[in-house]
Amino acid sequence: MIKGTTKLLGVIGHPVEHSLSPAMHNAAISHLGVDFVYLPFPVKPDDLKAAIAGFAAIGVRGFSITIPHKQAILPLLSEVSPIARAIGAVNTVYLTDKGWCGTNTDVEGFLAPLQTPPTPLYQGGAKDAISAVESCPPPDRGGARGGSDWSQKVAVILGNGGAARAVVAGCAQLGCAQIHVVGRSEQNLAEFQQSWVNCPMPVQNLQVHTWDNLSNLISQADLLVNTTPVGMYPQGEKSPVAAGELDRISAGAIVYDLIYTPNPTQFLKDAQLRGARTIDGLPMLVQQGAAALKIWLNKESVPVDVMRQALRQHLGLD
């Protein structure tokens, strides 16, 4: 029940009506019995600065950010975490005594289903590289590797957009021996690679390739990740990789699609037929949201299963 004491959380974007975040966050809030509510706030690009000032004025405790504001909000924040600077985008904002602080929980969301048991970010080797960078006080999220040794593993990432940046950061946190990014434009790929050289979390073992090298890369991949929109609803019959090329995937390799609808995608169906282990985009969506909710509520844990179930029902997967 919303009362005068109810604290506000939300998501900003334009448009924002399609966001799944209210469904999963409000399910968790109800389960926990805390006096919060999570609302969608449509904010046009020209109104972003005014909206952020207004949020502070009415006591909003924190908010998620979706397209088109993930980069535009950076200069409006008092502090930005190293992981968000490395990715070049913020998806979660929370209030500190210094003002609005931005971070990015997409890396934690991406890593969660790859780690057994999952371990939080900001520990291990990557921390040494970024510790000297002034940043928000990082929420206590800890380390990188989880229960598997990735030091001899090869990651191949399809696409070189914003989602690919979070995946590259995640693979660096895991300690992958090689990280290969596949794209269509040589110029964009070169810029993508260069952007990691002097960023807050340098990635030295990153190589970039055009799409015509994909077949050879697939045969080497221990982890193959689709960050492109190819295969997303309503074009669920499409796949970013031709079935013939996917024949080269090793049995037991992990094939991960950030798309969560349809579920599974054609890409994952093809991979399953070839003996690969598959992960769809729903765990990442849930876990990045759970990581943000822990920050806002200052809790060590939140009901991830409740959030997952709420999304599955909302998407008609049950």
Supply the pLDDT for residue 271: 97
Ramachandran sector of residue 40 (left: φ over 0; alpha: ψ -120 to 50; beta: rest): beta
Cα(167)–Cα(111) distance, integer angstroms: 8
Amino acid letter, 128: D
Quote the pTM value: 0.87
Lowest mean pLDDT among 22-31, 229-238, 297-306: 229-238
Task: Name the percent of the chain lying above pLDDT 70.
Answer: 90
Amino acid letter, 138: P
Nearest to 281 by CA among 220, 228, 219: 228
Q: What is the mean pLDDT of the chain?
A: 89
Supply the pLDDT for residue 221: 98
Cα(67)–Cα(85) distance, integer angstroms: 17
Cα(203)–Cα(193) distance, integer angstroms: 9
Helix 282-297 × helix 21-32 angle, to 10°: 50
Cα(254)–Cα(195) distance, integer angstroms: 27
Cα(33)–Cα(156) distance, integer angstroms: 42
Nearest to 82 by CA among 24, 121, 43: 121
**Helices assigned H by DSSP within the chain:** 21-32, 48-58, 82-87, 106-111, 125-130, 162-174, 186-195, 214-220, 243-246, 266-273, 282-297, 304-314
Model confidence band, residue 204 (pLDDT cutoffs 50, 70, 90): confident
- DSSP conformation letters of 227-282: -S-TT-TT-TT--SS-HHHHTTSPTT-EEEES--SSSS-HHHHHHHHTT-EEE-SH
In degrees rounded to 5, what are phi and psi of residue 254?
A: -100, 125
Model confidence band, residue 116 (pLDDT cutoffs 50, 70, 90): low
Residues 75 and 59 sit within 8 Å (Cβ to Cβ): no
DSSP state of 20: S
Residues 134 and 193 sit within 8 Å (Cβ to Cβ): no
Supply the pLDDT for residue 78: 96
Angle at CA of residue 103, ends 169 and 200, nearest 5°? 50
What is the pLDDT averaged over residues 254-282?
96
- The set of residues, in sequence order, having a beta carbon less than 8 Å from that of 1 and lying 6+ positions away, is none
Model confidence band, residue 200 (pLDDT cutoffs 50, 70, 90): confident
Supply the pLDDT for residue 199: 86
Alpha-carbon torsion 308, 124, 171, 256, what sign? negative
Residues 141 and 111 sit within 8 Å (Cβ to Cβ): no
- Is residue 119's pLDDT more than 70? no
Supply the pLDDT for residue 164: 95
Lowest mean pLDDT among 35-39, 113-117, 200-204, 276-280: 113-117
- Is residue 147's pLDDT more than 80? no
Residues 102 and 81 sit within 8 Å (Cβ to Cβ): yes
- Which of the residues are catalytic? 70
